[in-house]
Amino acid sequence: MKIAIIDDHSLIRSGVTAALANSNYEVVAEASSVEEGLAVINSYNPDICLIDINLGSGNGIDLIKKSLDNRGKSKFVILSMHDDLATLDLAKQAGASGYLTKGAPIEQLLEILDVVATDKGKFIKKGHFQKALENKDFGLTPRELEVLSLLPTGATAVALGGILFLTEATIKTHLASIYRKLGAANRAQAVSIGIENKLIAN
């Protein structure tokens, strides 16, 4: 069965490839970004893609959505350092078939691949996940909360500005402040943290 690994860390890609060397799964391609990942999926048509959440300037959630929008046949398993249930839920909603936290033993990776390969339509998760943290407001202003609540729509900064009657520059300033206060590296993480702490309606 053909596997593609899409992760922006070469050591992770090499490690997973080595771990699968003596299994029934063949790593046919690697990628480090959303754009490369979509190209790999189109070119190699892998049965299963192992994807990280963070992919440089993009993220694995968007990659899954774009591939499924293009009617791709590949299935997706998230392999990520993010161990919060909100991120897991985002992955599941996007169309992932499984989720494994990095650091889990190879046996759990193989178990997930075996389940996903059988095409039973069952979502499977393995690894250690944090319990939901006590809800926080993170010191966000009312306007920042308003911007945060719109992030799951996928609207651009320009579109958000149109909705809120603000300039693109002002929206970008609010986004930078939101990311800093939440400790998020990108939109996907901000949405995940927002949902987990009930700052965004789920």
pTM of the model: 0.66
Q: Which residues pair with 5 in a beta bridge?
A: 30, 50
Average pLDDT, the chain: 89
* Residue percentage of the chain with pLDDT more than 90: 56
Cβ-proximal residues to 162 (8 Å cutoff; 6+ apart), any chain: none
Residue type at 106 in one-letter notation = I
Check residue 6 and give left, alpha or beta (phi > 0: left; psi -120 to 50: alpha): beta
What is the 8-class DSSP label of residue 123?
-
- Where do the domains of the chain lie? 2-126, 142-196
Residues 114, 116, 122, 127: is their CA dihedral positive or negative? positive
CATH architecture of 142-196: Orthogonal Bundle (1.10)
Structure confidence by residue, pLDDT tens digits, 93-144:
889 999 998 888 899 999 999 999 987 778 888 877 665 545 567 888 888 9
Q: State residue 56's pLDDT score.
A: 76
Assigned fold of 2-126: Rossmann fold (3.40.50)
Residues 55, 7: Cα–Cα separation, whole Å:
6
Check whether 54 has a pLDDT greater than 90.
no
